[in-house]
Amino acid sequence: MKTLRNIIGIHLSLLIVCCIIYTLVIWGIGQIFPSAANGYPVEKNGKIVGYKNIGQKFTLDKYFWGRPSSVDYNAASSGASNYGPSNPEYLKIVGARIDSFLVHNPGIKRSDIPAEMVTSSGSGLDPDISPKAALIQVPRVARAREISEDLLRDLIENNTERPFLGLFGPEKVNVLMLNLDLDRAAEK
């Protein structure tokens, strides 16, 4: 009986400490930083059009594309292909993506296509591509928008995030932020 009281007592007290107090304190601090606490929503003309870190689907030629996604960038869920490296079906899909990429981007060499543009990400919501993957899309976007390639290269340069502290991790370009800049530049 005594043990039962001990156990229930500790159970309930830790529930209050860990689940109520801890969560509420973090939530309270989140109220001071509403943008962060909501996952950094991105607005355009006063409307939320996305989240900085959540990738979205770009299929039109006039936008820079992100990576293939197994959940089709449906952010209500998340997930990956889970294809093993030797799965023939996987290799077939990658082959088909390469062909389709070449059709939409005539003139680029096969060996210029970075692997991330034809392989799907872990979350299915990867917001980034490498600077190189953005650069090879420049001719296509320039043609679709009828704007100069130099301007696009500048936009990519401005949107390239260097490694953390300049030292750690890969370079990357956030596709949504790049496309927002692109829309803005095209409107001018």
Which residue from 40, 144, 154, 186 is in contact with other proteins, where contact means CB under 8 A? 40
Within residues 62-91, the interface with other proteins by CB under 8 A covers 63, 67, 73-88, 90-91
What's the rounded Cα separation, in Å, for the pair 59 and 64?
8
Overall size of the chain counted in residues: 188
Asked if 51 touches other proteins (CB under 8 A), the answer is: yes
Which part of the chain contacts other proteins (CB under 8 A), choosing from 137-145, 146-154, 168-176?
168-176
DSSP 157: H
Considering the rule CB under 8 A, would residue 23 count as an interface residue with other proteins?
Answer: yes
Kindly state the number of chain residues that form the binding site for other proteins, as judged by CB under 8 A. Answer: 101
According to the binding rule CB under 8 A, does residue 13 interact with other proteins?
yes
The residue from 45, 106, 167, 188 that contacts other proteins (CB under 8 A) is 167
Minimum gap (Å) between residue 127 Cβ and other proteins: 6
Residue burial 78-87, b: 16+ Cβ < 10 Å; e: rest? beebebeeee
> Which stretch of DSSP H or E encloses residue 90?
helix 88-104
Residues facing residue 174 across a β-bridge? 128
Comparison of 164 and 188: residue with beta carbon closer to other proteins: 164
Residue 67 corresponds to which amino acid?
R
Site string for other proteins, 91-130 (x = CB under 8 A): x--xx--x-----------xxxxxxx-xxxxxxxxxxxxx
User: In the complex, what is the shortest distance from the CB of residue 150 to other proteins, in angstroms, rounded to a whole number?
Assistant: 23
- In the sheet that holds 160-161, the strands lie side by side as 128-129, 172-174, 160-161
- Asked if 141 and 104 touch (Cβ cutoff 8 Å), the reply is no
